[in-house]
Amino acid sequence: MSSISQNRLKGTVVRSFELPYALYLPPGYESGGDKRWPLLFFLHGAGERGDNLDLVSIYGPLMQVKEGRELPFIVVAPQCPENWTWDRSLEELDQLFLEIVRNYSVDLERIYVTGLSMGGYGTWHWAVHQPRAFAALVPICGGGMWLMGFPQRVAALKDVPIWTFHGDADEVVPLGNTAELVEELRKLGAPVKFTIYPGVGHDSWTPAYNEPELIPWLLAQRNTRFSFQGGEDLQAD
């Protein structure tokens, strides 16, 4: 007579990783100075994955820097490996977060994250993973993966200011992917702004990052109860 037994393996898995990133320091930044600077993390899309770090400045904030714009943030743009996604890199992003705040003059009340397409997904996922770490989010043409508990898990962000963007003609990531998260947040009375670009396809990031009120809005958002899970020495009330 055959039988089926139930078993459980316990252990610890330790793995090494390498996460390349581009870094922009704003004009006037002096390492070790008294001034603390806002910090913006930028998560790129699927087309910029790989091992060529120049790709992270094709779109978004670092593209604007290359075109001559001066930004008032420290900007950190990590690069996701080929055939990988940001939702599988949350622990690596956590380590990058710790690396930057420990080694640069960062204002812990003004840490933001933005991303486009796959990076828009990454923005939602990382923020849910660390719901008290960021002062504001700017996810663009992204969404949340239902296999990972979305849209319900977005409730963790009900107190986080969010400005999200999507084009209503997007055939790569449907508008509904953002809309369902916004609807979930609005049920909770969350401070979420939702800009829909009529007739715009997947490239909603170009108009979004050129919104004249975006940077002033970001800088106005402050996280007065900063907390980072896994970085107890960085917590502040």
Residue 134 has pLDDT above 80, yes or no: yes
Residue appearing with tokens 């996701």: 80
Per-residue confidence (pLDDT) for residue 59, from 0 to 100: 98
Give the orientation angle of helix 90-103 with respect to helix 118-129, to 10 degrees.
Answer: 70
Per-residue confidence (pLDDT) for residue 12, from 0 to 100: 83
Q: What is the CATH number of domain 21-226?
A: 3.40.50.1820
The pTM score is 0.92
Per-residue confidence (pLDDT) for residue 232, from 0 to 100: 53
Q: What are phi and psi of 71, to 5 degrees?
A: -105, 150
Compute the CA torsion angle 16, 17, 18, 24 (nearest 10 deg): -110
Residue 237 has pLDDT above 70, yes or no: no
Residue 236 has pLDDT above 90, yes or no: no
